[in-house]
Amino acid sequence: MLFAIWLAALVADASPPIPDAGAIPWQTSAQIGHGVAFKDTQNPIGDSVYIGYAGHQVALGSAEAWVDALYGASLAARGVRYLWAVQGPDDHAYARHEIGNSKIVATMLPLVGAQTRFILVAGFSSGSFVAHELLGQLAGGLDPKGVTAGRVVYFDLDGGGSGLTTQSIDRLRKAYFVGSHDGTTNTDSPRLGTMESLGATYASAGGYWQNDASGSGCNAAAQWCVHVTLITTKPHDPNAASPQLDYSDFGGRSVCHAWIDAKATEAGLVP
């Protein structure tokens, strides 16, 4: 009798398993948007959102692999269900505005509800300019009912400030500007100074945070290797970034999610 009671309690307390996002195919189409892939992981513990913007000329397949790796390492346990992966812009400045951000907004808004505890947006390197376009669209009228206001947490990962406005920042829950530093070689990521400056400008929104890349294996003065430590904890080339590999091959190295973990409590990135 006692065993039956214990077994019933165990079954009642058991949480449904979190699906393996890697086993769920990404969807792409004109409706989903140019340069954009989407998937519904059916995560049973939450309906939160992640949108990952890759850097300059990173292929969509590599961006998908990065987002899948982040989901498995950190996002799933935080209650993220809906994933978007976005390829890198064609040029460093995102001058062509070719990415289908308005399609992301149109697909996302109907999915945002009471169980959407947060919308996490990350723009790495030149991908930050693409992310800023999305934030501007949300602030500029594409979210007329304000369903995303106060829900978006933004991480600018060693990127820039072009396209980012006070109007966009004011409707976010939090905004963080992230540089990376390899203490072993005393080498900064190339845009660390920009991130510090933006962090000071928007300190009340969240401000600057610095990633510790001391175990990265990057050589001295290899700034672009340190740059990509915000994607992978151990870049493939100790002298430079190898974008397609660093986004897609996590064998023997883990995806970097320290920036999420460091601000998770403060930003409400919980299931």
pLDDT at residue number 40: 98
pLDDT at residue number 14: 52
pLDDT at residue number 17: 78
User: Mean per-residue pLDDT for 171-198?
Assistant: 98
Tens-digit pLDDT profile for residues 114-146: 999 999 999 999 999 999 999 999 999 999 999
Q: CA–CA separation, 195 vs 220, rounded Å?
A: 21
pLDDT band at 101 (very low <50, low <70, confident <90, very high): very high
Q: Are 69 and 63 in contact (CB under 8 A)?
A: no
pLDDT band at 5 (very low <50, low <70, confident <90, very high): very low
Query: Positive or negative, the Cα torsion across 267, 271, 17, 22?
Result: negative
**Six token digits for residue 84:** 């978007």
Q: What is the reported pTM?
A: 0.93
Question: Structurally, what CATH architecture does the domain formed by 18-177+190-217+257-267 represent?
Answer: 3-Layer(aba) Sandwich (3.40)
**Six token digits for residue 99:** 């990415």
User: Mean per-residue pLDDT for 168-180?
Assistant: 98
pLDDT of 13 above 70: no
pLDDT band at 22 (very low <50, low <70, confident <90, very high): confident
pLDDT at residue number 18: 76
Tens-digit pLDDT profile for residues 53-86: 999 999 999 999 999 999 999 999 999 999 999 9
Helices (H) and strands (E) in the chain, counts: 9, 8
Domain chopping of the chain, boundaries: 18-177+190-217+257-267
